[in-house]
Structure 1
Amino acid sequence: MLSEIVARVVASEPRLGSTRLVAVDGPGGAGKSTLAAQLARECDAPVVPTDSFASWDNTLNWWPRLESQVLEPLGRDAPGRYQRYDWDRRALAEWHEITPGGVVVLEGVSAARAAVRPRLSLSIWIDTSRSLRLSRGLERDGSAALPLWEQWMSDEDNHFAADGTRAHADVIVNGTASL
């Protein structure tokens, strides 16, 4: 499956300036980071995680910062530059620069939202059961994070229902299968 996705990325046209922007989307705990890392390695591409913009307090309304710091500059073939959000410190941390051209993998919840679809060269959705996603999330974040995860899952359910993200995906991947 990974080789098929890579072939589609390579065959795609740049739609964000000279950059092929590939979104790896799906709900929290679906396996997006794993697939994005594999894809980035195969395509020699940086990963821009939406978790560098989102927070427990701002699950989905962080998009303007991604637009102004990364997408707009790349669309002009200028470097993108963003400050990563540190979830543990609950504050902005170090800066990252993204060079235009080639492939950039945008990974995370709502990475393929309607606002970016016209600029995506490929959109990937990862399907994974709710119970497995919650289990993965609590394994990573600890059982005390259960109320946060429940709110997060509710927020993303509402977003995905309104946005129709899965229905617009170019590729749907089973998040329980190995690539």
Structure 2
Amino acid sequence: MSSALSSASADPFSAALDVAAAHIREAIVGVAAANPVVLIDGRSGSGKTTLARRLVARWPLRGRVQLVALDSLYPGWDGLADGVEAARELILRPHARGMMGVWERWDWDASAHAEAHAVDPSLPLIVEGSGLLTASTSQLADVRVWLESPPSSRMRRALHRDGDAYRPHWPRWAEQEERHLLRDAPTSRATLVFAIP
């Protein structure tokens, strides 16, 4: 065994994401569709982006898979619900109807929409982001994932990832996540739930 594999397996966070990815791959194969939709939800710092990238790298079906991160759709620090709504209307609904979806990236520095991106309905799709599992989005997905992770671990990872730019916004974003938990009960809408240390 290489030292790289040894160190990866010794990391509980990485190991938990590997287990999650393996179960999600099984679920994707079980859907038996050419263009399945996978939604990954969880609070900030829970590992959604890392898990989504692992799924893309180890996609179990032939051909390529599309990945959309809600960080590219949220219109600023108060935009959790608006970003989810944009994903539903511009990406998930068109994909479910066999139509091309088009969404615009949110430029956080300019506080404005930027370039447009297309989503091909014939290809599989992964969408990841906080707030994603709702009553309306869940109906448009084949595999729905919730990541549960302790607040201290999540905050450490999120601030390590985004630095001090995120620190003053952490409470404000957390309040929006709390509203999502109370309003949408995302754990109950998930087909797979994983505990991430």
Query: Normalising to structure 2: TM-score of the pair?
Result: 0.80
Structure 2 unaligned segments of length 5 or more: list them. 1-18
| Other-structure match for 2:45 | 29
* Residues 1:45 and 2:57 aligned together: no
| Other-structure match for 2:158 | 137
| Other-structure match for 2:27 | 8
* Residues 1:110 and 2:131 aligned together: yes
Q: What are the superposed Cα offsets for residues 117-161 of structure 1, whole Å, 9 maximum, x if unpaired?
A: 112101111111111111122222223532311110121012112
- Comparing both structures, which one devotes a greater share of its residues to strand? 1
The offset of 1:165, in angstroms, is: 0.2
| Other-structure match for 1:76 | 97
Query: Normalising to structure 1: TM-score of the pair?
Result: 0.87
Q: CA RMSD in A?
A: 1.8
The one-letter code matched in structure 1 to 2:187 is: R
| Identity value in percent | 28
- Comparing both structures, which one devotes a greater share of its residues to helix? 2
The offset of 1:98, in angstroms, is: 1.2
Residues 95-174 of structure 1 mapped to structure 2, 5 A cutoff: 95-174=116-195
Q: What are the superposed Cα offsets for residues 71-98 of structure 1, whole Å, 9 maximum, x if unpaired?
A: 2221221221111112233221222111
Structure 1 unaligned segments of length 5 or more: list them. none
Misfit runs of 4+, over 4 Å = none
Aligned residues: 173
Per the alignment, in what secondary structure is the counterpart of residue 166 of structure 2?
helix
